[in-house]
Amino acid sequence: MHADLSRITYRPERHYSAVVAQQGRVQLDADANEQTAIQLFQARTLAADLIGQHGGPQDATGFRIELRGGSHELDDLLIGGGRYYVDGIQCDATRPQPGVPVPAEGADGQGGADDPGVPAGAPATWTYWDQPDGFRDPERPGDRLPTTFPYLACLKVWERSVTAAEDPALREVALGAALPDTAARAKVVWQVLPLPGAELGLGGDNPSADDIRAAFTRWAQRAAAPASRLAARSERPGHADDDPCLVAPDARYRGPENQLYRVEVHEGGTAQEATFKWSRENGSVTFPVDELDGTWVDLATLGSDDKLDLNVGDWVEFVDTAYTSRGAAEPLLRVAEVDLPGRRVRLSDEPAPGVGRRPELHPFLRRWDQQEGGWQGRRGARTDRLRHGAVRVEEGGWLPLEDGIEVYFGTGGTYRTGDFWLIPARTATGDVEWPTDAARRPLLQAPAGIAVHYAPLAWVRGDRQITDLRLAFRPLSAGIPATSDAPPAAGPGAGTADPATDAAATRPNRSQTTAAAEAAVDEEGTG
């Protein structure tokens, strides 16, 4: 989550059930965020245990897929409204309908066709091309649906952060423009995407639905499993103990402030292909864009202080809602000139086509803190540090960030754009918070995110030839029989002296687990 956080303290393996506040103590963002994480984990785990890997409510199962010819002479998919759960995460495909505006001046107030303020009939469902977080582009060949059948329409689900830079409605205007925004949001993102049938490795011309689901589960496990690991440490020179000052130049972590470092994969691939970027502020330093004119960018603000502003030589990422949702990795841009009075900056190049040109997508610049220049590689050779503004991944050796912070990429990794690690650095200890073994050696860790979840929706074999792969569940509740329907007592004198015990004995026994009892309950619930 790209937000201004102190650290993330939630650890599911510790099995904490609640955060307990104590009187007279300092309130920390980490404590409140951990309570939210605990509750979210419990709710989603319970949903996944009851529902299974994926499924939807019987009368409101969402994401029904239909194939149809669409605009641009390209195929399209209709996405039915309703809810669906993937690993306990609720996804809602219901398309909101526009509200009714006040009639235009002089109109009869009946909402007739002559009233230009009345919106035209809005579509009732989403489609593949206009799904809210898909941002598919017909001009991109890779975004088009396959022309070769069969293929599988699947649901991809993950979470991302949203701040006031992307959603201005989150900012409380009563606080004034000079104050920072308050809280960020976590958003569930879903996308309906095609997966060529050949990637599932299925044999036969017409596999069964169970075989398709099983093959997709194996594919999803491979796709979602993290395949890269990182460790972090703060370097400590041998003579550091000679100086008691915690922030002396030869201390381990030499930064003047507590920081939450974020190391994030930029370009994915193998170690030879991958790059990463890093931020000492968890990537939370952003600048909303008012206008883009070539390489000049008009900004809503240039930052609240000298630590959160832009300077010549800084590397920035031009971001908007579509760019983030697509998981894109365009070259980073360098700040070439800063016009403070005009709140403008000139970038080293124009942003990539399709990024930052649409105001409704709320474009902004995100600052990253890596710098130009080479460093001594693990084999002693000078290394060109940046490629397209991001740092080249080098496995099997410690790579310096700044102020004594170093990171280590495990060998044999495969890197995914957006995966990240968080490294809290503290001046009080001159160290970073990172798990170690008994010998205090840093442990290699999988990415803290992005956690991606998948579910199969439909096996598309052609027009009107679709196998529905969704699962549905019925409500657990069932009707309680009326008192008159209760079985009679065994006879006079069969009761006990306790009326409550007698009443309990006359209730239908609903705790049985035999097949006959379960069938009876099912029949009651559907009757």
Q: Is 232 helix (H, G, I), strand (E, B) or coil?
A: strand
Per-residue b/e over 111-136, b at no fewer than 16 CB within 10 Å? eeeebeebeeeeeebbbbbebebbbb
Q: How far apart are CA 518 and CA 515, in angstroms?
A: 5
H/E/C letters for each residue in 304-346? CCCCCCCCCCCEEEEECHHHHHHCCCCCCEEEEEEECCCCEEE
Write down the residue that tokens 């019987």 correspond to: 58
Beta carbons within 8 Å of 473's beta carbon, 6+ residues apart: 50, 51, 52, 55, 56, 57, 58
Structure tokens at 353: 């086509």
Cβ(134)–Cβ(192) below 8 Å: yes
Amino acid at the residue 345: V
Q: How far apart are CA 119 and CA 128, in angstroms?
A: 23
Structure tokens at 293: 């004119």
- Name the strands in the sheet holding 75-79, side by side, starting at the edge strand that comes first in the sequence: 65-69, 75-79, 126-127
Handedness of CA 133, 64, 460, 158 (dihedral sign): positive
The answer to whether the bond into 288 is cis (omega within 30° of 0) is no
Which residue ranges of the chain lie beneath pLDDT 70? 70-72, 106-120, 236-251, 373-384, 485-527
Best CA proximity match to 287, nearest among 307, 309, 306, 305: 309
Cβ(290)–Cβ(342) below 8 Å: no
Cβ(211)–Cβ(386) below 8 Å: no
pLDDT in tens, 353-372: 989 899 999 999 999 999 87
- Write the CA distances from 123 to 93, 97, 130, 184, 306, integer angstroms: 13, 8, 11, 31, 48
Q: How far apart are CA 248 and CA 256, in angstroms?
A: 10
Q: What is the pLDDT of residue 493?
A: 52
Best CA proximity match to 53, nearest among 212, 269, 221: 221
Q: What is the pLDDT of residue 84?
A: 98
